[in-house]
Amino acid sequence: MAGIRRLRNVKIVATLGPSSSDYDTIRALFEAGADVFRLNMSHGTHEEQAARHAIIRKVEQDVGRPIAILADLQGPKLRVGTFRNGEEELTEGQKFRFDLDPAEGDATRVCLPHPEIFAALKPGATLLVNDGKIRLKVEACGPDFADCVVTTGGVISNRKGVNVPDVVLPLAALSDKDRADLEFACELGVDWLALSFVQRPEDVAEARELARGRAAILSKIEKPAAVKAFDQILAVSDGIMVARGDLGVELPVHSVPPIQKQLVRKARSAAKPVIVATQMLESMIDSPMPTRAEVSDVATAIYEGADAVMLSAESAAGKYPIEAVTTMDSVARSVEADPIYREEIEASRHIRRETVADGIVAAAREIAEATDIHAICCFTQSGTTASLVARERPAVPIIALTPVVATLRRLCLTWGVHCVRSPEVERFKMAVVQAARAAREYEFATEKDQIVVTAGVPFNVTGTTNILRVAPCDERLIFRTDPE
């Protein structure tokens, strides 16, 4: 198993849950193709998540390959109160009030225990209840009430969720629960933190301050305000998740596909990994086979150049978690074998090159694609060099080598990167030797082949990518041609 490698570039994120909490299942998910495991902090206790984390690390040790762990924070949840009868039917044109009165609701009103919402509302704003199934328009509002008219009716019941798409709410992205979960996850040793309810770059800055470098920060784009402020949010994030579920609730559903395409392209241009998530193989919660539409949806994200595609309930609570990962892996390999895939990837390569590192990785890709090169090997301390190479989406494999385990694990989310732990090196010749050994060990190349090696000198210093070499995979030739 030490030589295992993926036969695709896009990565697969699998959420763990009741259907996937034991060693055998988690290992089977990895072997089927999962590169990153997601711990959903909205469900399960800290003890349950700690047990899953320990199993993942045991699988990682047993298979000899780095595995990334992503902890997904719940974010503040906006919900109505309770009803005297448990539920009420709202009809189009009906008047209905939300207020701060904790008394049980009826057919005319219900408590909405979130004064922050009333502080931000204005007449004409829209309130959505139960994932947008019920829509109401605000006619009048104050600091403790909102009088609305129902525009789309339905059954409203106890503690259903509320969305407010038209305004930026004066709410922090991190609730008290999220702060506790963040500290727990960082102490546990997760690699990525997914931040829910992001509306502004300041939300990301708060999470980064609390994380103190112990985990990378991935911003979930699920609110219209986040779409509007995306460039600023991207600039302060380490990665992005296109969370299409809530986006499809708060925005017209037909607007989500172009938004997805725009966000994926911008994240790629910034050399930051981007996950496309939500309902990708939803039918596989109960069926061993996906629908054709779901397969097309996964394929579209891959054609767009996303770094990763994600399974949620399919692998966490579904009946066929391993089949769902296997399906994603098969779709990815089929898409990436399509000549049109390379055409799409190359046509969407619009990158500003402003630094020496930008020039080095661009040259590495061009050399690799113009000659008989079998892999691009990059020595990296923080992961930046490998991320820049991945941004180029080369047609040959990328091997990232570093002695920093945390860097290897975080790079498991990045397109096309095969992560290999290497000893620390102080001379470039030894870096080339290590690269050649890795290329041979993982069967990217033979002794007769050549590779491109990029690195920064001096070694073990972040952000110094400044050297490129075409090298043989035969160590005897390396020593013969480079006596240093």
Residues 36 and 130 in one domain: no
Mean pLDDT, to the nearest integer, of 370-376?
94
Residue 5 is among the residues annotated as catalytic for this protein: no
Beta bridge partner(s), residue 111: 99
CA-to-CA distance for 401 and 383, rounded, in angstroms? Answer: 9
Domain count, the chain: 3
CA-to-CA distance for 133 and 161, rounded, in angstroms? Answer: 11
Among the listed residues 380, 393, 396, the one whose alpha carbon sits nearest the alpha carbon of residue 470: 396
Q: Which of 114, 129, 163 is the last residue of a domain?
A: 163
Question: What is the percent of the chain where pLDDT is above 70?
Answer: 98
- Per-residue pLDDT tens over the stretch 148-193: 999 999 999 999 999 999 888 988 889 999 999 999 999 999 999 9
Beta bridge partner(s), residue 376: 398, 452
Which pLDDT value is given to residue 289?
Answer: 97
Domain hosting residue 177, numbered range? 11-75+172-338
Is the residue at 208 inside a domain?
Answer: yes
Residues 317 and 385 in one domain: no
Does the pLDDT value for residue 95 go beyond 70? Answer: yes
Is the residue at 254 inside a domain?
Answer: yes
CA angle 321, 322, 325 (to 5 degrees): 90
Mean pLDDT, to the nearest integer, of 135-141?
97
Residue 291 is among the residues annotated as catalytic for this protein: no
Does the pLDDT value for residue 283 go beyond 50? Answer: yes
Whole-angstrom Cα Rg for the chain: 24
Which pLDDT value is given to residue 432?
Answer: 92
Annotated catalytic residue within 6, 57, 77, 79: 79
CATH number of the domain that residue 155 is part of: 2.40.33.10
- Per-residue pLDDT tens over the stretch 422-434: 998 888 888 899 9
Residue 278 is among the residues annotated as catalytic for this protein: yes
- The Cβ-side half-sphere exposure at 398, using a 13 Å CA radius, reads 31
Annotated catalytic residue within 11, 27, 38, 223: 38
Is the Cβ–Cβ distance between 430 and 409 less than 8 Å? no
Q: Which positions ≥6 away from 259 have C-beta within 8 Å?
A: 227, 242, 247, 251
Q: How many CB atoms lie within 10 A of CB 256?
A: 18
Q: Which positions ≥6 away from 131 have C-beta within 8 Å?
A: 161, 163, 249
Annotated catalytic residue within 15, 278, 327, 385: 278
Q: Which residues of 306-326 are buried (b: 16+ CB within 10 A; e: fewer)?
A: bbbbbbbbbbbbbebbbbbbb
Three-state secondary structure string covering 322-346: HHHHHHHHHHHHHHHCCHHHHHHHH
Is the residue at 299 inside a domain?
Answer: yes
H helix or E strand, kind and range, residue 50 = helix 46-63
CATH number of the domain that residue 71 is part of: 3.20.20.60
Q: Which of 338, 367, 398 is the last residue of a domain?
A: 338
CA-to-CA distance for 131 and 111, rounded, in angstroms? Answer: 18
Is the residue at 270 inside a domain?
Answer: yes
Q: Is the peptide bond before 472 cis (omega within 30 degrees of 0)?
A: no
Going by the DSSP 8-state scheme, the letter that residue 118 receives in this structure is H
Annotated catalytic residue within 220, 244, 393, 409: 220
Does the pLDDT value for residue 4 go beyond 90? Answer: no
Residues 408 and 263 in one domain: no
Does the pLDDT value for residue 108 go beyond 60? Answer: yes
Is the residue at 218 inside a domain?
Answer: yes
Q: Which of 292, 307, 338 is the last residue of a domain?
A: 338
Angle between helices 176-188 and 46-63 (to 10 degrees): 30
| pLDDT band at 481; cut points 50, 70, 90 | low
Structural tokens at position 256: 């989500």
- Which ranges constitute the DSSP H helices of 64-157? 115-120
- Per-residue pLDDT tens over the stretch 302-319: 999 999 999 999 999 999
Residue 220 is among the residues annotated as catalytic for this protein: yes
- Residue 48 burial (CB < 10 Å; 0-12/13-18/19+)? middle
Which pLDDT value is given to residue 251?
Answer: 92
Is the Cβ–Cβ distance between 52 and 37 less than 8 Å? yes
Chain-centre distance of CA 468, in angstroms? Answer: 30
Residues 376 and 322 in one domain: no
Residues 130 and 256 in one domain: no
CA-to-CA distance for 168 and 149, rounded, in angstroms? Answer: 21
- Per-residue pLDDT tens over the stretch 23-72: 999 999 999 999 999 999 999 999 999 999 999 999 999 999 999 999 99
Among the listed residues 131, 22, 62, 9, the one whose alpha carbon sits nearest the alpha carbon of residue 393: 9
Residues 225 and 155 in one domain: no
Mean pLDDT, to the nearest integer, of 71-90?
95
Residues 313 and 459 in one domain: no
**Average per-residue pLDDT in the chain?**
94
Residues 43 and 91 in one domain: no
Does the pLDDT value for residue 482 go beyond 80? Answer: no
Is the residue at 351 inside a domain?
Answer: no
Is the residue at 326 inside a domain?
Answer: yes
CA-to-CA distance for 436 and 433, rounded, in angstroms? Answer: 5
- Per-residue pLDDT tens over the stretch 222-257: 999 999 999 999 999 999 999 998 899 999 999 999
Which pLDDT value is given to residue 463?
Answer: 67
Does the pLDDT value for residue 484 go beyond 90? Answer: no
Structural tokens at position 289: 């086979």
Residues 311 and 190 in one domain: yes
- Which ranges constitute the DSSP H helices of 77-166? 115-120
Which pLDDT value is given to residue 341?
Answer: 97
Angle between helices 321-336 and 292-303 (to 10 degrees): 50
- Per-residue pLDDT tens over the stretch 325-370: 999 999 999 999 999 999 999 998 877 778 888 999 999 999 999 9
Residues 19 and 146 in one domain: no
Does the pLDDT value for residue 436 go beyond 80? Answer: yes
CATH number of the domain that residue 441 is part of: 3.40.1380.20
Residues 234 and 326 in one domain: yes
Which pLDDT value is given to residue 483?
Answer: 46
Is the residue at 278 inside a domain?
Answer: yes
Is the Cβ–Cβ distance between 416 and 455 less than 8 Å? no
Residues 66 and 204 in one domain: yes
